[in-house]
Structure formats: C-alpha cells, structure tokens
Amino acid sequence: MIPAAFEYVRAGSAEEAISLIGEHGDEAKFLAGGHSLIPLMKLRLAQPTVLVDIGRVNDLSYIRDGGDHVAIGALTRHMDIENSDLVRSEVPLLAHAASHVGDPQVRHRGTLGGTIAHADPASDLPATTLALGATYVAQGPNGTREIAASEFYQGFLESALAPDEMLTEIRVPKMQGAGWSFQKFNRRAQDWAIVGVAAWRRNGDSGVALVNMGSVPILASSVSSALSSGASIDDAAEQAAAEAEPQADLNASVEYRTHLAKVLVKRALNEATG
C-alpha cells in the first residue's frame, strides 16, 4: 500500500504551520504522530497534496497547572500524559485512559491533539475529554478561539475545526476528588474498543461518555440526568444508549453494542461511586 504523491514541508512554529496550511489550501493536512493519517493515506482514503509536519513544534508539548484546569499542549504525547504527576493527581481519569491507548510505541508517538482533531469515535481520549467537560483551543489566521468538547465533534472524522485552524491546547477541568472509571471492552489487548466508557461522579454531579457507540463520541447526558434525579445506578445505566447511534460491524451487532454499553456504564458508575 503506497500513498499518492504529496509534498512535504516542516513547520517550526504554530504560526508557520497555519501560514503553510493557508498557502496550500484545503488539500493540505497537518502531520503530528501520524498514526491516524498515514494509514488512511496508504489506503488512499485520504490523499492530501501537501503534508505540513508539526511534530517538532516543541512549544505545543507541555502539561501545566491552569488553576481550575490542567492545560495540555496539543502535541503532548500520550505517554507523557499517562506518566504526568500533575495529570495523575488532578485528572486521574485522563491519565488512566491514556495508558489504554494502543501499545507503548503508539503512546510514545501519538499526540493528544492529533487524536482529538482526527475525531474518531472509536478512539479513547476524545470520549474521555468529552466526559470531563474539556475545552479545546484552536488557532487560525485570525487568532484563537475556544471550543467546548460537547460542540466539537460534528460527524464521522469531522470536527468544528476550520480548514485553516489547528488545535493548540486542551483544557481539562480538575476532578477535585471525584470518583472515576474507564471501562474498555475489546477482543484483544491493544485493539480498538468495541465499546468503551469514561465516567466520573462527585456528589450530585457526573459525566459519562461512550466510545464507539455512534459516528461521534457520545456524551450520555441521560445517564447523568437520571442520577441527578435520584435514580439508582442500575436504572441510570439503562439510559446508556439513549443518545447513541451504534453501528453494526464484524465485531458486534447494534443490539450487542447497546447491551454492552449498559453493562459497562453500570460497572463504571459502581466503580466511580465506590
């Protein structure tokens, strides 16, 4: 499998990368870790004419305390998130979910911004940041803007990013002692999740998001609403697929995915509560 011919340019800063994307138009794509884009190019499902390599824009690789949130640069590797003392302390759900991404080679190369911008509903970290109520910061030729995670995912592999924008930072609210759980059911270790659940709970508040239960990461708002109304965990878990649109594939039928979502949400809520 050989990609179609393309031009390669390397950016030294976010500003240069945005300028290059603007110069080359809609057929240009950012290249960070490459784990999502390169396979699509090999299958010729994506055929950008220009690749703008942002992998060495070191200014976008950081983890900082932002007061009420943890700020993570878009080019921060999964392994750095998994091993960060700050993330483990303030957003342990995110650190744990990062440890489930692929294998160590993938986690050493893959970036948080890359997996979010790719917007794959089967990916672990988009759903996790969605459950946590994260905010994404995008930079374009006209400056920066903030996008709520709940408004970011618009379709299969489609996001609210404009063609001339790049993701620069992910701001994840601190969990402040909330209980949490990450459940992932797959056929083999390191596979994509057949269904996954990221959940947290603190007093009357909660957040639950589903992996691979639709064309976008799913925020299971009905589960949180049921809990806040006094429903038991068992009853709330029955609402797991209320916002979902699961698809059948070689791994699971629609019915099986729906059942699995309820089982995993129940497990996650019990663990988060305990």
CA distance 135 to 147: 6
CA distance 126 to 103: 18
Helix, strand, coil percentages, rounded to 5, for the chain: 35, 25, 40
Are 234 and 268 a contacting pair, CB within 8 Å?
no
Q: How far is CA 63 from CA 32, 33, 55, 68, in A?
A: 17, 18, 17, 14
pLDDT digits 0-9 by tens, 68-86: 999 999 999 999 999 999 9
Residue 103 has pLDDT above 80, yes or no: no
Q: Bridge-partner residues for 136, per DSSP?
A: 147, 170
**Pairwise pLDDT comparison (46 vs 95), residue with the higher score:** 95
Q: How far is CA 28 from CA 7, 53, 97, 180, in A?
A: 9, 10, 31, 39
Are 194 and 185 a contacting pair, CB within 8 Å?
yes
7-10 and 50-53 as β-strands: parallel, antiparallel, unpaired? parallel
Provide the residue type at 131 as one letter. A
Lowest average pLDDT, out of 47-61, 151-165, 166-180, 234-248, goes to 47-61
The length of the chain in residues reads 274
- Give the model's pLDDT for residue 126: 97
pLDDT digits 0-9 by tens, 109-124: 889 999 999 999 999 9
Residue 190 has pLDDT above 70, yes or no: no
